[in-house]
Amino acid sequence: MLLQTKLHIPKPRGDTLLRPRLVDLLRANLDKPLILLSAPAGCSKTTLLAQFTVDAPLPVVWYQLDASDNDPAVFFEYLVECIAGRFPEFGAAARSLPQSVENVAGEWQRFLVIFVNEVVNTVLEDVLSVLEDYHVIDNPLVHGFVVRLLAQAPSQLHLLLSARSDALISLARLRARRQMAKVLAYDLRFTPDEAHAFLNRVAELDLPSESIQTLVQETEGWAAALQLALASLTRGQGGSIQTMIEAFRGTNRYLFDYLSEDVLAGLTREVQSFLLGSSILEQMSPNLCDALLDIANSREILEVLEAQNLFIVALDDHREWYRYHHLFRDFLQERLRRRQGDGVRALHLRAVAYLGHRRRRPGGLPLCGGGCDRETGGPH
């Protein structure tokens, strides 16, 4: 039995800000077989999609994924039903396949042919199929089916994958042919004008432009952080608004709990350890992290963090230097302090020793970028 709420398009909430520039960005790419909406948790991906579907120029069908959808039979069944819900003539043959075979893994090609043929014959207008939270899928068979579907799909079928990671499946061919579009965290950041409209019109505050500019700078336009900052402002006990905004950091209790529960808790111990240890650095490179943490796979971890949109920013085009989102780094440093206490100083000393050694080498560069902490003697 299917859970019908997984196929329901969410309705926009009345207390959210309409963001027409992002709706227009989605509309402008509906001619492509794939739109990848990729950003970390709390970037308002679902909110944007809910707004887009209200007046979408083509039919939209919805499939909310969870861990159970790694079962190919479950995935295929829901994928069929999400389209059949809008086009009742679709799915007569495809519905029977997952139940009619013992080994679904060996039948994906057969299912693909039946699925595509039924789309051609019964879906007589363009349709956008949204697969939300696609990052929960880790079954290679499901990924392989989606890749092949994109390669062979009829022109009227368009997919939108909404996920926290943009390294989910191999999309090199689509990218080379300019048959896909990406909407990333950078696009979803609130501009100062959007933050002003959200805080002063939607939330009915009366903040001066200076305060809003400070808040946008501190949050880097991250939607969840703006929401949590709003919660702090509306519950604030004394002090000026500007003072409270300037004091908003990753250690804020609302933001700290959010990052602990919705971001850090889902990561492996190895990745958590890397994040905490490297948080003492304002900027980091694979070699620096290897030396600091006494490991040999920092490059691989950094590339995974970047691919998974884990609040990390590349500072060059060569994947050599990175930084964390300011609030995320605040949060990590507080977690590190609580867990290691005096051990934090040892990390700073190790980083200083590595950077000092590199400076003394002939032709060596000041790899800290001039960013050494004047109080601790260590990198920021």
| pLDDT tens column, 154-201 | 999 999 999 998 767 777 777 777 888 999 999 999 999 999 998 888
- Shortest CA distance to 198 belongs to which of 327, 13, 11? 13
User: Where are the domains positioned within the chain?
Assistant: 4-188, 192-248, 260-360
| Mean pLDDT score across all residues of the chain | 86
Residue 57 pLDDT? 95
- Whether the Cβ atoms of residue 166 and residue 34 lie closer than 8 Å to each other: no
Whether the per-residue pLDDT at 74 is higher than 50: the answer is yes
- Whether the Cβ atoms of residue 63 and residue 132 lie closer than 8 Å to each other: yes
Q: How far apart are CA 333 and CA 150, in angstroms?
A: 42
- Whether the Cβ atoms of residue 171 and residue 36 lie closer than 8 Å to each other: yes
Q: What six digits make up the tokens of 373?
A: 């902490």
- State how beta strands 60-64 and 127-132 pair: parallel
Higher pLDDT, 290 or 233: 290
The pTM of the full predicted model, rounded to 2 decimals, is 0.82
Task: Give 194-221 pLDDT, tens digit per residue.
Answer: 999 988 888 788 888 888 998 899 899 9
Higher pLDDT, 244 or 310: 310
Reported confidence tier of residue 373, pLDDT bands at 50, 70, 90:
very low
- Whether the Cβ atoms of residue 161 and residue 131 lie closer than 8 Å to each other: yes
Start-to-end CA span in the chain (Å): 54
User: 3-state DSSP call for residue 169?
Assistant: coil
Tell me the residue type at 150.
L
Residue 380 pLDDT? 36
Spell out the residues 6+ positions from residue 234 whose beta carbon is closer than 8 angstroms to its own: 203, 205
Q: What is the dihedral of CA 136, 62, 160, 115, to 10 degrees?
A: 90
Residue 27 pLDDT? 97
How many other CB atoms sit within 10 Å of the CB of residue 127?
20
Strongest mean pLDDT among 221-230, 238-247, 294-303: 294-303
Task: Give 313-362 pLDDT, tens digit per residue.
Answer: 999 888 899 999 999 999 999 999 998 877 899 999 999 888 887 665 44
Task: Please state which CATH number belongs to domain 4-188.
Answer: 3.40.50.300
The pLDDT of 101-120, averaged and rounded, is: 78
So what's the architecture of 260-360 in CATH? Orthogonal Bundle (1.10)
Q: How far apart are CA 247 and CA 241, in angstroms?
A: 10
- Residue 21 C-beta-side C-alpha neighbours within 13 Å: 7
